[in-house]
Amino acid sequence: MSEMWLWVLGACAIAYLTKLSGHLVPETVLEQPWVSTVSAGMTVGLLTSLVVVNTAVTGTTLVVDARLAALLAAGIALWLKAPYVVVVLVGAVAAALTRLAGW
């Protein structure tokens, strides 16, 4: 089995065990209010970081390219309350058009 498969299946196992822990661990442990606060905060932080990395980072270099146009266009679409699928398409079109324009 390739290394990629091992990581894919390993990550899947971790995700499932995490879900299962919520169902099996005694409620008193996970029901502490700080658990949900930290989990919600970390979720926001991770998603923000993923937005930034996918917009402005290539390898270990900061770059400004067509992806920034995608970010702005997607932000406008979300602000206009567009559905998720439309937002993703808007991002793709914005990046493609910006590149077509020569940036």
Partner 1 sequence: MGVSIAVAVGLYGISFGALGVAAGLSVWQACALSALMFTGGSQFAFIGVMSGGGTLGAATLAASLLGVRNAVYGVQITALLRPSRTTRPLMAHLTIDESTATALAQPDAQEQRRGFWTAGVGVWLLWNLFTLVGAMLGERIGEPTAWGLDGAAVAAFLGLLWPRLVGRDARTIAVASAFVTLIAAPVVPAGIPIIIAAGVSGALAVLQHRSAR
Please count the CA atoms within 13 angstroms of the CA of 93 that sit on its side-chain side. Answer: 9
CB of 28 to partner 1, least distance (A): 10
CB of 39 to partner 1, least distance (A): 5
CB of 17 to partner 1, least distance (A): 9
The closest of 55, 76, 74 to 66, measured between CA atoms, is: 55
2/41 Cα distance (integer angstroms): 35
